[in-house]
């Protein structure tokens, strides 16, 4: 369906226009009162309101013992890693709301990524991702997202260029769990919608997809351009 810019932007129209797209959404925090879990819940709601299907997961479900190659070689892959891979594979794309720990990502997330990175097919490869963060700090956890981009980009995830980081997040939510600041709320929603448009195009409109130059190796590119950028994938 051809859509003009700005057309069909109401929530009802949006869901009527959207071709089916599924998103795994989770916060990379184990704690019950997680600010990132609040943000993940809101992202899942926004996705559903815009006509997508959101699979809201808990980091606890994907939690794994520290990666150990001996365990992997013995074939005992932890259930958390198996489930993480399954839920990723069921989705067209993923949204991670990650706390910033010491300017980087939490170990629980990196560990889960390491486990699934040894699986074949490796589920991050060619899967679209959107990164978000919430933190009590003024930087909103944004520095941790830059660190998170590194392993995910290496694994072939197509990370959305824009990221959303909610600063002073302890005071940033309303009692109902929404983002209190209207400008930030709008930016949050438009970021999600832009990401959804991209995922929808990649899945359903391969003609548009072939025009993109940022994903070398896509089927349909001339053979000379089809080399992988990252060795080992
Ligand atoms: C080990 C550790 C390191 C942290 N490092 C940072 C940091 O570098 N930057 C930051 O903004 N907050 C940092 N924090 C504070 C977290 O942003 C804060 O605890 C946040 O609420 C965690 O996310 P959650 O609410 O989703 O669990 C750190 C917290 C912990 C426990």
- Total structural domains within the chain: 1
**Half-sphere exposure in the Cβ direction for 86 (13 Å, CA):** 9
232 within a domain of the structure (yes/no): no
74 within a domain of the structure (yes/no): yes
Please tell me the predicted confidence (pLDDT) of residue 228.
40
Q: What is the pTM of this model?
A: 0.86
Helical (H) or strand (E) element with 146: helix 142-154
How are beta strands 93-97 and 22-27 bridged, if at all? parallel
Residue nearest atom 2 in ligand 1 by C-alpha distance: 101
Residue 219 φ/ψ, nearest 5 degrees: -60, 140
216 within a domain of the structure (yes/no): no
227 within a domain of the structure (yes/no): no
Residue recorded with tokens 């830059």: 146
Please tell me the predicted confidence (pLDDT) of residue 14.
63
pLDDT tens, N- to C-terminus, the chain (233 residues): 334 334 444 555 666 678 999 999 999 999 999 999 999 999 999 999 999 999 999 999 999 999 999 999 999 999 999 999 999 999 999 999 999 999 999 999 999 999 999 999 999 999 999 999 999 999 999 999 999 999 999 999 999 999 999 999 999 999 999 999 999 999 999 999 999 999 999 999 876 555 554 555 555 545 444 444 333 33
The Å distance, Cα 100 to ligand 1 centre, comes to 5
Our measurement of the distance from residue 95's CA atom to the centroid of its chain's CA atoms, rounded to an integer in Å, reads: 2
144 within a domain of the structure (yes/no): yes
Binding pocket residue ranges, ligand 1, CB within 6 Å: 27, 29, 31, 34-36, 99-103, 135-137, 139, 141
223 within a domain of the structure (yes/no): no
The Å distance, Cα 195 to ligand 1 centre, comes to 26
Please tell me the predicted confidence (pLDDT) of residue 205.
87
CATH number where 63 lies: 3.40.50.360
Residue 164: which domain range?
11-208
How are beta strands 53-58 and 22-27 bridged, if at all? parallel
User: Residues 205, 208, 213, 214: is their CA dihedral positive or negative?
Assistant: negative
213 within a domain of the structure (yes/no): no
Q: Are 37 and 22 in contact (CB under 8 A)?
A: no
150 within a domain of the structure (yes/no): yes
């Amino acid at each position: 369906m051809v859509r003009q810019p700005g057309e069909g932007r109401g929530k009802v129209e949006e869901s009527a226009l959207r071709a089916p797209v599924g998103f795994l959404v989770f916060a990379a925090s184990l704690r019950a009162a997680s600010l990132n879990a609040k943000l993940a819940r809101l992202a899942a709601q926004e996705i559903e309101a815009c006509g997508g299907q959101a699979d809201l997961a808990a980091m606890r479900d994907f939690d794994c013992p520290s990666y150990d190659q001996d365990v992997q070689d013995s074939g005992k892959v932890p259930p958390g890693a198996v489930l993480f891979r399954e839920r990723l594979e069921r989705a067209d794309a993923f949204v991670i709301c990650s706390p910033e720990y010491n300017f980087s990502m939490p170990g629980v997330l990196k560990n889960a990524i390491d486990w699934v990175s040894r699986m074949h097919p490796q589920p991050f490869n060619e899967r679209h991702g959107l990164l978000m963060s919430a933190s009590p700090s003024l930087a909103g956890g944004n520095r941790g997202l830059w660190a998170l981009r590194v392993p995910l980009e290496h694994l072939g995830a197509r990370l959305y260029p824009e990221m959303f980081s909610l600063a002073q997040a302890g005071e940033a939510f309303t009692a109902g769990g929404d983002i209190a600041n209207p400008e930030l709320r709008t930016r949050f929603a438009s970021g999600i919608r832009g990401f959804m448009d991209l995922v929808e195009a990649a899945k359903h409109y391969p003609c548009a997809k072939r025009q993109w130059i940022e994903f070398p190796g896509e089927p349909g590119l001339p053979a000379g351009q089809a080399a992988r950028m990252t060795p080992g994938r």
